[in-house]
Structure 1
């Protein structure tokens, strides 16, 4: 049997997402092997969103994490994580929720991002009223143009502003360089180094002005191998735990294993050499080109021709038409939003269903 096949698959309704814990554990080991010290790691939990993988990471000595939502931060608090950065601007009711999070899980050091004085003032006013102190990182825009302030001068002014603002503890700098995705590692490193140069200049200026420890959190999966070699930089890859076809193709130097697989079925054969699977875009991430939604390891020549809410239609080679009801295994091109579509994932060990993990943090709200 191939590694992903399940003996009792006939008992599983489809579509569903299954996860292979031994492969997750192996991927965590590979992640650790790519850094000199485990303290360099502050992985993002957006991919798996469940407490079981958080605990596997903590068992491996990783106690710092990054996330994007209050719900993700809450499961990290539940797990007893030491440090948690919510890498997202806190605005509106999220500020009050963040303060409640800090009060409930006091053994975890929570922090968030700031990229303008308006945010700093709002955070300061709310934390002052609650009589708490909030850790913040100045978010830098090094070319992704999503959030952040440009280094150098503007960022230094914001850093000064945060340092002088009541009830804020300025921890350091945060950089997400998600626009750097060159397939060839050398070209990716060249672009990453160029984007990081003004960050180094800013860090030098901050250290000269404020002689306290400055923390720099940088990158995602594509630039992880590059930032991992920088002294004093903490890295935040996330997809490594489950991996996906998109990064397997785009980051060939990273040897993580697929650890999450979609189980689906053939539901129709609407025409010559056409089949339809129960794998609509409510079941697998659908951004990007049609041919980059899901890859079928046992059927690499199948070509998607249309995708809708509940259906994925493919053209198959003559003679390869499967039977109605036949089970098909697929690897998502983008695992993170795919996981968010499932309340739970089934776990598979030794080709058999062994349990399930609740995708708790796919919710917008857990308790707080």
Structure 2
């Protein structure tokens, strides 16, 4: 336990000088979460974290300090941020179509100390990637993206997947690395129920991997899971896990994944800007400041006032129902935990690093942009 856990760990001296809304990050707690994830995975070689949550070089470097050098991401900008940070392996877990293919080629040529890979889930896409890499005279590593029930991207493990694997093997400039599985639809709160569903979904994946290993005489790498199934896949021999939210954590996963003991490491600050009625306050935490795709009551949780009830939400305002005797006057500052940290971070071009109750640094959220250089 950190010493700061014995008090209000989120308190910041001089907080009245910080404009709101702002996002604060606590590096000591981030480090604690990274160490826990590495331990759960069985070592840094079995961890390939997704960077969509934090999108900054500072957290990448904290992970590298724990021996993590391979990462997963969703955008070219995130991949470039990782390469600039010194990542050895980067999987862009997103279909490369249209101009993204040309950008992928440029990325490979610009950062040759990093091994890049991407996903493929249909023959047309494989041919498109193969044609472009052949013209550019570069080799592209690919993972076969499998759909085990999320129904977002990927193909079902089976004969069509075998044929696509064979097709990738037959091309001149694609290097098939293995299988990629994201099972984000499995969110049962009971870990036993989640494990049963996860094992059932993974069974055909394992069969496909075994079949390809026998056919080609080479081990098939498997990258599997997100945050909900992370502790389940971590028990599988040789499987690399790719959770993403753990460095900062959030209220949503704290409630729905009770078996994972990560700690909150990112906090929003906001202020009461109006008290339009005796039982209502308005704070400066609108759509532009906190992820708002969930139900109104599941967007933010106030640390010192957990019973505050959101009643309306708009671009720059959040109205909350309060008890009349609450000391929530205009100007009052509130600390809050978002239910969904990933899109919340993407709203801030920088976050404030807090150490020993003071602002120590400003971390640029460089990969929130669509482009960095490429």
Please give the TM-score of this superposition, normalised by the length of structure 1. 0.99
Matched, 1:296 2:302: yes
1:267 alignment partner in structure 2: 273
Structure 1 position 82, deviation (Å) = 0.9
Matched, 1:53 2:62: no
2:252 alignment partner in structure 1: 246
Aligned counterpart in structure 1 of residue 193 of structure 2, from 165, 187, 191: 187
Task: Write the distance in 2 (CA, Å) between the matches of 1:318 and 1:32.
Answer: 47
Gaps of 5+ in 2: 1-6
Deviation track 1:226-260 (CA, whole Å, cap 9, x = no partner) reads 00000110000110000000000000001111000
2:114 alignment partner in structure 1: 108
2:47 alignment partner in structure 1: 41
Contact 1:275 1:321 survives alignment (8 Å)? no
Task: Write the distance in 2 (CA, Å) between the matches of 1:142 and 1:356.
Answer: 40
1:28 alignment partner in structure 2: 34
What SS is found at the alignment partner of 1:88? strand
2:167 alignment partner in structure 1: 161
Alignment of 1:88-127 (within 5 A): 88-127=94-133
Aligned counterpart in structure 2 of residue 140 of structure 1, from 143, 146, 160: 146
Contact 1:340 1:359 survives alignment (8 Å)? yes
Matched, 1:200 2:201: no
Structure 1 position 204, deviation (Å) = 1.0
What SS is found at the alignment partner of 1:292? coil
Matched, 1:173 2:179: yes
Matched, 1:212 2:207: no
Deviation track 1:273-309 (CA, whole Å, cap 9, x = no partner) reads 1000000011000011100000001101110000000
Matched, 1:3 2:26: no
1:71 alignment partner in structure 2: 77
Structure 1 position 36, deviation (Å) = 2.0
Q: Please report the RMSD computed on the Cα atoms of aligned residues, expressed in angstroms.
A: 0.8
1:278 alignment partner in structure 2: 284
2:3 alignment partner in structure 1: none
Structure 1 stretches (4+) deviating beyond 6 angstroms? Answer: none
Task: Write the distance in 2 (CA, Å) between the matches of 1:314 and 1:45.
Answer: 32
What SS is found at the alignment partner of 1:169? strand
Contact 1:182 1:188 survives alignment (8 Å)? yes
Contact 2:70 2:90 survives alignment (8 Å)? yes
What SS is found at the alignment partner of 2:297? helix
Gaps of 5+ in 1: none
Structure 1 position 321, deviation (Å) = 4.6
Structure 1 position 166, deviation (Å) = 2.4
2:334 alignment partner in structure 1: 328
Contact 2:41 2:241 survives alignment (8 Å)? no
Matched, 1:221 2:227: yes
Deviation track 1:75-97 (CA, whole Å, cap 9, x = no partner) reads 11111111100000000110111
What SS is found at the alignment partner of 1:28? helix
Task: Write the distance in 2 (CA, Å) between the matches of 1:359 and 1:301.
Answer: 31
Please give the TM-score of this superposition, normalised by the length of structure 2. 0.97
1:314 alignment partner in structure 2: 320
Task: Write the distance in 2 (CA, Å) between the matches of 1:172 and 1:24.
Answer: 31
Aligned counterpart in structure 1 of residue 344 of structure 2, from 316, 320, 338: 338
What SS is found at the alignment partner of 1:291? coil
What SS is found at the alignment partner of 1:150? coil
What SS is found at the alignment partner of 1:241? coil
Task: Write the distance in 1 (CA, Å) between the matches of 2:319 and 2:209.
Answer: 52
Structure 1 position 33, deviation (Å) = 1.6
Structure 1 position 270, deviation (Å) = 1.0
Contact 1:141 1:176 survives alignment (8 Å)? yes
